[in-house]
Amino acid sequence: MRIYPTMELRNGRCVTLDKGRLDEAMVWHVNPTETARSWSAAGANWMQLTDFDAIEGRDTNAALIEEIIRTAEMSVQLAGGMRSREQVEHWIDKGAGRIVIGTLAARDPQLVKELARLYPDQIVLAVDVWQGYVMTEGWRTQSAFTPMAFIEAFADTPFAAILVTDIDSDMEDVEAQLGLISGLAEASRTPIIASGVVRVTDDISRLAYIPNISGVLVGRALFRKTVDLGEALEVAKSAHEPVAAFQ
């Protein structure tokens, strides 16, 4: 299972949100570029980078994101405001390892299927769930899709992964989130990346044994220092190692 240390940007600063509320963002006074490099130094091969300004139609963080992609020394899975083919292809050309798409998949599923075929292993489908339905527009608009129906609509699409976030129980009820995520993982043909379920390292241990979970985002817990990235990477790496039979 892969650990994705996760950085969320707003106005050039690292932030974390409670249930997607931008007006209540917690600002972390760290250097984003240096933080990304420190994650690479700790052993991470991938990171998730979400641009909250792009979700609102602003390119405030564009230069910073390009710098992180250039200097992080690991692959970047980029999310936020990918509302057109041009935006997706722009960031692939700039070196993003993967692009996360949510709202565009609900608006224009045929385009997203085409992009997934054109860019194998570079397109990730975002499934953000609130009260049983998929949310779009940066978690502000409820769609008519249940998460299962949304995933089934893309059943034959060659996504790199499907990123699942249960906004409703965000960090408050990890057991409920694990129930939702494990159910979707069981039904999906595409590997699932879980978001919002890691408070402490033990949560990674539990997640590693759910079938078809290929990775997990870890953001707030890193900034709060309730999870050490090096330790989390070791736990994820060793979770499925064979254990000698009891004698």
| 108 classed as catalytic | no
Q: Exposed, middle or buried: residue 106 (CB in 10 Å: 0-12, 13-18, 19+)?
A: buried
Contacts within 8 Å (CB) and 24+ apart, 188-192: 188/151, 188/162, 188/212, 189/155, 190/125, 190/151, 190/154, 190/157, 190/159, 190/161, 190/162, 191/161, 191/162, 191/215, 192/161, 192/162, 192/163, 192/164
Active-site annotation holder among 86, 108, 114, 128 = 128
Phi, psi of 117 (to 5 degrees): -75, -35
Q: Catalytic: 128?
A: yes
Q: What angle do CA 182, 98, 137 make, to 5 degrees?
A: 70
What are the residue numbers of the active site?
8, 128
